[in-house]
Structure 1
Amino acid sequence: MYYDTHNHSQFSFDGARTTLEKSTASAISKGLGGICFTDHCDFYVPEMKADFEPIVCEVFDVAAQQQEIDSINARIAGGEFGREAARKFKVLKGIEVGMEEKSRPELEKHLSENCFDQITASVHYLEDSDPYYGPYYKGKNWKEAYGRYLEAYLREMKWLGDRFDIMGHFDYITRYAPYPKESILYRDFPGLFDEILRFLAENGKAIEINTKTYKTYRMRTPQLDRDIFIRFMELGGEAIVLGSDSHDCEQVGYRFEYYAQFVKSLGFRRLAHFENRKLKMVTI
């Protein structure tokens, strides 16, 4: 069964609404095959964020998180979460790294000192701004705002190289945008998307369908563009992961069956996850 590859816990700066145990129990109750906790790791936090909330440490305690995951896996194996879970269910150790040029030295050191099942690479902050609060979009039309975001992704993924596994929420920038243009579409950035998708395909990376992005927020509902994934397949890509980006246990596995069938309708037959940084595939 499918794995939820993108989840946050009490170890993330914004994850106080759930715990590793609660989200694991939710994943098991929903019939998932496993869950990966990818707590936040952003070494760079823009100063403008202090105008809206106290700047907090956005780097989690890896040792503490992984110790608790080991404990939960032992309890699962011992039957505490049910006989079926004991046979099949896995809790994986992950991290969601926030890519930003200013934080390259810290990020490189951090990844060299720790081991994970999966490393998801995302962009949360860019141009000294947090898009969640809006200033990033000022003075830009939708094409400039979305295009610069994709350019930052491509630049930082190329720098990360073999130090990551999954391109996380490539259309995160649309969640909080003020434009009528709600979605990032392949046809609007064909050259950029080709570079991104070719890089992922040629290096055995996965692209994430982040199901949280397609929830209605501020009366806007971004749509997932099927052309992006068709082009990914044409360029030799095969690894697609589903991630709920959960910050509470109810969100775990959000609309996974719908998006699994979406992926299947494009011609893909399997969904991916990573264990010990190795690609694993599960039939849809």
Structure 2
Amino acid sequence: MKCDFHIHSSFSGDSDTPMPAMIERAITLGLDTICFTEHYDEDYPEGEENFSLAVSDYYETLCTLKKQYCSKINICFGVELGMQSHLGNLYTKYVQSWPFDFVIASQHLLDHTDPYYPAYWKNKNPSDVIRHYFKETLQNLKSMQGEYDTLAHLDYIVRYAGFGFTSYHYDEYADVIDPILRYLIEQDKCLEVNTAGFKYGLGHPNPCEEVLKRYRQLGGEKITIGSDGHRPEHIAYNFDHLQDLLNHIGFQYYCIFQKRKSEFRRLDR
């Protein structure tokens, strides 16, 4: 697989890597297309990370680098939006104001708090938090008014639950996961397969194999592939293994985007 459609640079609040370093690494790996998907989380809790996005500077820099590297790699203009239900109208106007190639919808917050931080989990039952997360995901997806192309790292919450995948099973949450998968299929949107789960040592992508199998059983065919890389060494992380995993589940293609239009690529290219 020669396309990575979820990478970040120093334009994201949680990365300090210059864009050229990410591009050079992608070229070294033999990728032919990458999409920068810098974070924009409006109304993110004060005192934590800054996930505002200097989109004018970002776009200007990307356009310059796109021209500079045009003979070596295709560089796409994307954004990762941190969903909250009250932000739907704002995000709709935002997406329509810029010539994005690709828009990721992500669920990062619960109760206006980032579960990345251990303090969120104090005195909480992890199973209850995970269930709450999936319910919020569906509600927030509906608030996006269709202005997104893929749902990122569906079971992201498990990365921070304290037990990894050892006590998390699709069957326990099928009643709240299946409505999300059905909604994506009904809306003709993609489900992202995010390899950061491997990077974090979980042994699985996000979402895990059981969720991907269920998505396929329900008729889901549209997936995007992303490493969620914030550093050069994380680009296309474990893509070789992922290709075999997806083939085994029954996927033959993945999607890339140009000007918000999807294009199917075979998993072997």
Q: What is the aligned counterpart of 1:256 among 213, 236, 239?
A: 239
Equivalent-residue separation in structure 1 for 2:176 and 2:215 (angstroms): 13
Aligned-residue offset at 1:7: 0.7
Q: Which residue of 2 aligns with 1:174?
A: 158
Q: Which residue of 2 aligns with 1:45?
A: 44
Partner secondary structure for residue 131 of structure 1: coil
- C-alpha contact 2:7 2:38 (8 A) present in aligned 1: yes
What is the identity, as a one-letter code, of the residue corresponding to 1:223?
Answer: H
Q: 1:90 to 1:185 in 2, by over 3 A?
A: farther
Q: Which residue of 2 aligns with 1:76?
A: 69
Partner secondary structure for residue 79 of structure 2: strand
Q: Does 1:223 align with 2:204?
A: yes
Q: Which residue of 1 aligns with 2:111?
A: 127
- C-alpha contact 2:102 2:257 (8 A) present in aligned 1: yes
Aligned-residue offset at 1:60: 1.1
Q: Which residue of 2 aligns with 1:266?
A: 249
What does the per-residue CA deviation read over 1:218-277, in whole Å, with 9 as the maximum and x for residues that have no partner?
xxx263432212221222211112211111111111111111111111111112221111
Equivalent-residue separation in structure 1 for 2:8 and 2:200 (angstroms): 20
Q: Is 161-170 or 139-148 further displaced after alignment?
A: 139-148
Equivalent-residue separation in structure 1 for 2:167 and 2:154 (angstroms): 11
Q: 1:233 to 1:180 in 2, by over 3 A?
A: closer
Equivalent-residue separation in structure 1 for 2:53 and 2:112 (angstroms): 22
Q: 1:122 to 1:182 in 2, by over 3 A?
A: farther
- C-alpha contact 1:42 1:59 (8 A) present in aligned 2: yes
Equivalent-residue separation in structure 2 for 1:180 and 1:92 (angstroms): 32
Aligned-residue offset at 1:108: 3.0
Equivalent-residue separation in structure 2 for 1:142 and 1:276 (angstroms): 39
- C-alpha contact 1:120 1:164 (8 A) present in aligned 2: yes
Q: What is the aligned counterpart of 1:190 among 174, 182, 197?
A: 174
Q: Which residue of 1 aligns with 2:57?
A: 64
Q: Is 35-44 or 140-149 further displaced after alignment?
A: 140-149
Aligned-residue offset at 1:216: 3.8
Aligned-residue offset at 1:183: 6.2
What is the identity, as a one-letter code, of the residue corresponding to 1:38?
Answer: T
Q: Which residue of 1 aligns with 2:2?
A: 2
- C-alpha contact 2:158 2:164 (8 A) present in aligned 1: no
What RMSD over aligned residues (CA atoms) do the two structures have, in Å?
1.9
Q: 1:39 to 1:156 in 2, by over 3 A?
A: same
Partner secondary structure for residue 132 of structure 1: coil
Q: Which residue of 1 aligns with 2:82?
A: 98
Aligned-residue offset at 1:105: 4.1
Equivalent-residue separation in structure 2 for 1:264 and 1:60 (angstroms): 36
Q: 1:200 to 1:184 in 2, by over 3 A?
A: farther
- C-alpha contact 2:36 2:79 (8 A) present in aligned 1: yes
> Please, which runs of 5 or more residues in structure 2 have no aligned partner?
none
- C-alpha contact 2:87 2:143 (8 A) present in aligned 1: no
Q: What is the aligned counterpart of 2:227 among 234, 237, 244?
A: 244
Equivalent-residue separation in structure 1 for 2:221 and 2:165 (angstroms): 29
What does the per-residue CA deviation read over 1:40-92, in whole Å, with 9 as the maximum and x for residues that have no partner?
00012124xx2xx5x53x22122221222222221223x4xxxxx2xxx3111
TM-score after normalising by structure 2 = 0.91
Aligned-residue offset at 1:22: 1.0
Equivalent-residue separation in structure 1 for 2:145 and 2:248 (angstroms): 30
Partner secondary structure for residue 162 of structure 1: coil
Q: Which residue of 1 aligns with 2:32?
A: 33
- C-alpha contact 1:182 1:223 (8 A) present in aligned 2: no
Q: Which residue of 2 aligns with 1:156?
A: 140
- C-alpha contact 1:272 1:282 (8 A) present in aligned 2: yes
